[in-house]
Structure 1
Amino acid sequence: MNEAVIVEAVRTPFGRRGGWWADTRPDSLLAQTVQGLLARAGLPGEKVEDLIAGCVSQAGEQGANIGRLAAMLAGLPESVPGVALNRMCGSSQQAVHFGAQAIAAGDMRYVVAGGVESMSRVPMFLDVTLGQGEFRGFEGLNPALLERYPLIHQIESAERIAERWQLSQAEMDEWARESHARAWSAAQAGLHAELLPGPREDAGRDEGIREKTDPARMAAMAPALRPPGQGGVTAANASQLADG
């Protein structure tokens, strides 16, 4: 069995929804990242044997196999195939696993693996109907599946986890503040050597990182999905909507 190694790893700065990358198509964004990766690695495009792209919302500008489209937009030879996969929040990581497995098995030698998501241009759940009203779930899914599993939105999942482990909004807010503080310190220290140039001169960090957070403002925010007073997951302590 061959040993699979990561030769080079890069990423764009993550932009907030409606922010830095809002005017950039996701297939173009992925293509630019592939170009930056190959340039850093010093790898000719003709040596790439597959481009594996993780992408959750495969619809609109992220549809039609964004992996293959990005390979062509990046200027790779037409002989280089591409594929898109969806393992929800683990999609990009799964892409790396698939690439490593192909190399370990001896099928390939050089694989580009990663992912892309533009939450500005391709809204969440564009590929499935989300029920309206309180926690009605995903109406576009097979009714037989919904009869077996009461599938819910991930924010409601987070609320139930918080209830199970008795996590208050104040505790979640504190973790969010600490996360921003650590991320800001890391960015200021220049620890993100994997970043490619961003759309602006000051984009040497992720756009969503906040230098300062306001505890009072965070505490006053209403729950993201639940009625006021019945939940603790808010826009301030939940994962951000981002492009990258």
Structure 2
Amino acid sequence: MPDPVIIDAVRTPVGRYGGALKDVRPDDLAALIIRELVRRNDLDPASIEDVIFGCSNQAGEDNRNVARMAVLLAGLPVAVAGQTVNRLCGSGLQAVATAAQAIRVGEGEIFIAGGVESMTRAPYVTAKPTEPFPRGKPETYDSTIGWRFVNPKMAETYPPCSMGETAEIVAERFGITREEQDAFALESQRRAAQAAAAGRFKDEIVPVVIPRRRGDPLIVDTDEHPRPDTTLERLAQLPPAFKSGGTVTAGNSSGINDGAAGLLLMSTETAAARGNAPRARVVASAVAG
């Protein structure tokens, strides 16, 4: 049984909500990742068995199988397949697991797997009325984050809550204090700043070139979300974001961002035949809940 190995990994910079990547479609972000993996690994595009991308929104420009759209936008042959998977926040990891499983059972030798999301460009969505000539305003949701079109029967048993509200439940259940969360967030910011200063992200970030009406194009090559000047004092001043008297804030939560990332996976035999040195081996994956 062949072992799946990771040959290469690239990503766009992580754009802040409404930031530098706000005008870039998610399918274009994903296409950029695919093109770069093909280019820097001298791949014959026709040798790619499947391109698998995770995407949790899929309500706007990322609808209708964004992975397949990205394959075509990247200029790959029409015979190269693309599939989009959705396990919400675990969608990108699921894409990698799916590719690894396919390699392990012999369904292909070369795969691209990753994830893409543009939370800035997530649209408002409106429920279709059940009556022919309804009165009143239609039900509308901001698809950026949270639930939409929830089945009332499920809502009775499992009341919908956002990831931030879930974090509050987890913090309460396991006794994780506000101070511990802020300290963890500060250390995360410190590590990000240190890694960026040391050039640790240089080889993995693919610059996004954005044409402008006048002048040179905008080149985005740096993560926008990290805040290297963050302090514990500033974090402590932030109010709870999801629950009155809660512990989860905008400062110790993950961000609302835009970006894409991808891995090139091969079987060990194919990697050896091509002379590609694996960066890692995918041993196993598991899910729960």
Fold in common (TM above 0.5) = yes
- Give the equivalent residue in structure 2 for 1:32: 32
**2:48–2:80 Cα contact (<8 Å) kept:** yes
Distance 1:143 1:241, change over 3 A: same
Q: Deviations over 1:85-109 (max 9, x none)?
A: 1011111111011111111111111
Identity %: 44
Alpha-carbon distance, 1:126 to partner: 5.6
Contact 1:38 / 1:45 at 8 angstroms: preserved in 2? yes
Aligned partner letter, 1:168 = T
Matched, 1:178 2:187: yes
Q: In 2, Cα distance between the equivalents of 1:207 and 1:53?
A: 23
Are the equivalent residues in 1 in contact too, given 2:13–2:220 (CA < 8 A)? no
Matched, 1:164 2:179: no
Whether 1:197 and 2:207 are equivalent positions in the alignment is yes
Contact (CA 8 Å) 1:30, 1:116: kept in 2 or not? yes
Q: Which residue of 2 aligns with 1:216?
A: 233
> Is residue 130–residue 138 contact of structure 1 (8 Å, CA) maintained in 2?
no
Name the amino acid aligned to 2:102: A
The question of 1:98 aligning with 2:107 is answered no
Answer 1 or 2: which has greater strand percent.
Answer: 2
Q: Indicate yes or no: 2:141 matched with 1:141.
A: no
Give TM-score scaled by structure 1 length.
0.89
User: How many Å apart are 1:147 and its aligned residue?
Assistant: 2.5
Of stretches 83-92 and 151-160 in structure 1, the one that deviates more from structure 2 is 151-160
CA 1:45–1:107: 2 relative to 1, 3 Å: same
Map of 1:6 onto structure 2: 6
Q: 1:153/1:13 Cα in 2 relative to 1: closer, same or farther (>3 Å)?
A: same
- Give 1:87-126 correspondences, 5 Å limit: 87-122=87-122
TM superposition score normalised by structure 2: 0.75
2:193 partner amino acid: W
Task: Give the 5 Å matches for 1:47-126.
Answer: 47-122=47-122
* Counterpart residue number, 2:41: 41
Q: CA deviation at 1:207?
A: 1.4
Which residue is 1:235 aligned to?
Answer: 250
Deviations 1:146-204 (A, max 9, x none): 2222332111111122122332322211211111011100111111232222445572x
**Residue 15 of structure 1: aligned partner:** 15
* In structure 2, C-alpha distance between the alignment counterparts of 1:189 and 1:126, rounded to whole Å: 43
Q: How many corresponding residue pairs?
A: 236
Letter in 1 for 2:156: E
Give the distance between the partners of 2:205 and 2:86, measured in 1 at CA. 24
Amino acid at match of 2:251: A
Larger radius of gyration: 2
| Residue identity opposite 2:28 in structure 1 | S
Q: 1:128-153: per-residue Cα shift (whole Å, max 9, x none)?
A: 98989xxxx84622222222223321
Instruction: State the shift of 1:225 in Å.
Output: 1.9
**Structure 1 residue 218 displacement after superposition:** 2.1
Q: Which runs of 5+ in 2 are unaligned?
A: 128-138, 210-217, 260-289
Hey, what's the Cα distance between the residues in 1 that align with 2:191 and 2:25? 30
